[in-house]
């Protein structure tokens, strides 16, 4: 659900959870943004934006040349539940 240009926080969290599930299901293999978007049934721009805004510290990324394709995967030992707790806490602190 989009209100103006801002997404509802619940929708953002649901989309982040979809992305994290797809990353977790890839079993720590490299996956590119377009494939991640297909698996999570989100637009690739949405996936890229959410990764850049919320998940950068939890993923490892590289670029495949000469095509300039971003490949990502979860860092070793990262738990998806702890990522969600961190994002919720960060949003609560922003509201203060």
Question: How do residues 42-79 score in pLDDT, each as one tens digit?
Answer: 999 999 999 999 999 999 999 988 888 999 999 988 88
Question: Cα 84 to chain center, whole Å?
Answer: 11
* 9 pLDDT tier (thresholds 50, 70, 90): confident
In the chain the domains, ranked by start, together with CATH numbers, are 2-86 (1.10.10.10)
Rounded Cα distance, 10 and 52, in Å: 18
Q: What is the pTM of this model?
A: 0.82
Give residue 94's pLDDT: 78
Rounded Cα distance, 67 and 91, in Å: 35
């Amino acid at each position: 659900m989009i209100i103006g240009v801002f997404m509802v926080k619940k929708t953002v969290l649901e989309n982040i959870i979809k992305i994290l599930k797809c990353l977790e299901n890839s079993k720590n293999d490299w996956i590119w943004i377009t494939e991640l978007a297909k698996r999570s049934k989100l637009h690739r721009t949405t996936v890229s934006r959410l990764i850049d805004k919320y998940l950068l510290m939890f993923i490892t990324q590289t670029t495949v040349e000469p095509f300039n394709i971003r490949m990502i995967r979860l860092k070793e030992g990262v738990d998806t539940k702890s990522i969600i707790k961190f994002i919720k806490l960060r949003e609560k602190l922003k509201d203060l």
